[in-house]
Every structure is written in structure tokens, then in C-alpha cells.
Amino acid sequence: MHVFDQAIALSVQGEGSYSGATSPAYGNMVGPFGGVTAATVLNAVLRHPALLGEPVALTVNFAAALADGAFTVHARPVRTNRSTQHWVMEITQPDAQGTESTVLTATAVTAARRETWGVDDAPMPAVPTPEAVGRPNMAAPVEWVRRYDIRIAEGAIPTTWDGRGDASRSTLWVREEPLRPLDFASLAAMADVFFPRVWLRRATRVPAGTVSMTVYFHAGAAQLAAVGTGWLLGQAQAQAFRNGFFDQSAQVWSQAGALLATTHQTVYYKE
């Protein structure tokens, strides 16, 4: 079993109730990598017997740092239409007093997608190939980074923290290590693979953590399966930093140039 599948694994406790546990393989500064937590809560939807269709939208709000150890995931389909379904999810953990308490809230929309007219309006940026960028060029200060082969073509983590940053855009190749065929869960996780934009923009390393993240899935299961273990190209950029929060807008393409997902987050930062 791939380490990612181990990390997002869930045991059914009852209708729409699952138990999971944090994985040391995806450890972050505090608690696990948020991308894997997002993938885990999506996994609860994907495994639900009432599921209609495939993910279209996922929003995850990180209400508190997950403590290392066991947690409970709740997933509930609150509205099922002819071709769309709306989900409300939650992760809970016992607090210091032992009371089960919310650490994450989430919503999702799934849909039976149809053949329609379509077009990509965000062309993949031209960057050197993953082989030309080479590896590794993203330092791994935390464990989860080692689960990915990340090759930053533009906007690398500053090597000198001199306060001289002037841009917030990164463009990078990413795939799992070891290789694993792409699916909705791994795409959700990789939508969160970018390091905090504030580090790049300021060339200053301040505490930062994602507060809310949304992923729009533009590809269906068959298109993701066709990408297989191929490289993804991600581009992320901030638009505003103010009063302790900044946003990030990002796109994720297949190496062949199909826009697989667009994603947004708002991130807390200190000072």
C-alpha cells in the first residue's frame, strides 16, 4: 500500500462516520500536511455509499491544528439532486478535557459530469522540463516534503532571508515519491504543495498556516487516470497580503497541458 493511501485511510464506524489517524510520513511544523488532511476528508466522501458522481468543488477550513493520533471524519450528503450532490464534512478530535471537538470543517459538491463544449482558458506556462530543472531544489525542513518530488522552475524558497523579496509567484513540477497514479485525493493534496507565498514575497520566514482552501476539479476520474504517474505543473501566486492574512491562487496542469484543477487559499501569517 502506498504511503499516501495509508495516510488517508479510513475505517468505517457507522453511516458517514470514519476513524483515521495522522501519519508521521506527512508531518508538518505542527500536525500533518494540510493537503493530506484535505485528501482524507475528501476520501470520506469518495467512500460514502450514497456518493453521486465525482468531486467538482472542495472547501476545507482548518479550524485547529490536528493533534498527532486518531481523529474522526464525518461526511453527510445534505442534498442530492438529479446530477449534483452537496456534502458537509467535519473532523473531530478530543480536546484537552476529552470532549470531542471540531478541528476542521468542509463542504464538497460532487456531480455526474456530462460531455459538453469545453475549453481551457489558462494555458500552461512555458517552463523547462522537470529533467532540466533537476532535483532536489526544494529543501525539506518538514517530513511531508519528502513524499513529493518538487522541482521549482520559478520562485524557489529564498536561500537568503534578507527581506528583499519582490514577487509571490512560484511555478513548479510535482509528483509523488514513490510514484502513485493520480486520483482526486492525491490531486487535492498536491493543490496544497506550495510553500507560503509570504516567505517568497518578503524573503522573510514568518509563521504561516492555511486557514481555508478550495479546490475546483476540472478533470474527471478518467482524465486523472490518463495522467497516471506523470508530472503535474503547478503555478501559485498571492494577490494581497494584509492584516495577518494573504490569499493564494493556483493552477495545476498535467504535463500535456490540461488544466486539472484550480485552487485558492487564505493563509494566516504573523507580523
109 binds a second copy (CB under 8 A): yes
Helix (H) / strand (E) containing 88: strand 84-94
Residue 84, C-alpha cell as written in the block? 449534483
Stretch that binds a second copy, among 24-32, 174-182, 185-193, 263-271 (CB under 8 A): 263-271
Euclidean distance between CA atoms 73 and 122, whole angstroms? 35
Q: Which of 14, 98, 99, 114 touches a second copy (CB under 8 A)?
A: 114
| Residues near a second copy (CB under 8 A), total | 62
Euclidean distance between CA atoms 187 and 228, whole angstroms? 11
72 binds a second copy (CB under 8 A): no
Residue 32 is given by DSSP the state B
Euclidean distance between CA atoms 125 and 36, whole angstroms? 26
Site map for a second copy, 200-229, x if CB under 8 A? -xx--------xx-x-x-xxx---------
45 binds a second copy (CB under 8 A): no
255 binds a second copy (CB under 8 A): no
Q: How far is the CB of 5 from a second copy (least distance, A)?
A: 26
Euclidean distance between CA atoms 173 and 4, whole angstroms? 18
SS (H, E, C) 139-169: CCCCHHHHHEEEEEEECCCCCCCCCCCCCCC
Site residues (CB under 8 A) for a second copy? Answer: 56-57, 59, 61, 63-64, 78-79, 81, 84, 86, 88, 90, 101-103, 105-107, 109, 111, 113-122, 167-168, 201-202, 211-212, 214, 216, 218-220, 237-245, 247, 249, 251, 259, 262, 264, 266, 268-271
